[in-house]
Amino acid sequence: MSFDVSADAYDRFMGAWSRRLAPAMADLALVRPGDRVLDVGCGPGALTEELVRRVGASAVAAVDPAASFVAAVRARLPGVDVRTATAEALPFGNGVFAAALAQLVVHFMADPVGGIAEMARVTAPGGTCAAAVWDFAGGNGPLGPFWEAAQELDPGAPGEAGLPGAHQGALVELFEAAGLHEVREATISATRTFRSFEEWWAPFEVGAGAARRYLGGLDDERRAALRERCRAMLPSGPLELTASAWVARGTA
């Protein structure tokens, strides 16, 4: 899936969450100085930036199918090898990276097993592949309150619980099907503070993915009802929300 939103809009919607996950993601992927690493589905560069801090721009490559995101990473992180590509067709040779990471990407892949297998192909034998997906099935993703409110008002609202990798053990199954070895599962989390409900809600108006599609399909009355149901569910003062993600790590 390629997002048709600007890098700035994505940053407001999900990028701030991604940035908070990135250090733990890099830790779990065993990224070390001297490694050459790949960020698969880099978006506007939240994880890419963390990888640059650890190994330097010249040792980092990144891909994303959205041209706007590729342009943003090139501008924000000079020296990174950024290319327009999907996870299922990575434009690199076999075994050229010490680690390949996909943060909050597997559930958007057209072929998750194929995409993970490509990550393994470009990773050197004994190297690490790692991927993270929000715990949508447990309601612990950053959009949990939004989907809970939507499904109360509209039982037919799609939600994200059924997306690939979104429940315990699902990423492990995908990694093993892709041929990775010594697969491990862990969880990581991120916490954000919002000054008000309005600050929390505003990114949904310019967001991405399933939430944007669902909200964009509502008329003004239903959209207002959803907004007010979310408001009623959340604290009235500053909001501190924590979201968690499943992570799988395997050896190529």
SS3 13: helix
**What would the pLDDT profile of 86-142 be if each residue is shown by its tens digit?**
999 999 999 999 999 999 999 999 999 999 999 999 999 999 999 999 998 888 988
The answer to whether 174 and 166 are in contact (CB under 8 A) is: no
Give the angle subtended at the CA of 109 by the CAs of 18 and 173, to the nearest 5°. Answer: 90
Task: Please say if the pLDDT value at position 1 is more than 80.
Answer: no
pTM above 0.75, yes or no: yes
Distance, CA of 112 to CA of 62 (rounded, Å) = 18
The answer to whether 127 and 251 are in contact (CB under 8 A) is: yes
**What would the pLDDT profile of 135-191 be if each residue is shown by its tens digit?**
988 889 888 899 999 999 999 888 778 888 989 999 999 999 999 999 999 999 999
Count the neighbouring beta carbons within 10 Å of the beta carbon of residue 48: 27
Query: pLDDT value at position 5?
Result: 58
- If pLDDT is split at 50, 70 and 90, which confidence band does 216 have? confident
- If pLDDT is split at 50, 70 and 90, which confidence band does 16 have? confident
Distance, CA of 29 to CA of 250 (rounded, Å) = 9
Name which of 38-52, 162-176, 201-215 the model is least confident about: 201-215
Task: Judge residue 142's burial from the number of C-beta atoms within 10 Å of its C-beta, 0-12 exposed, 13-18 middle, 19 or more buried.
Answer: buried
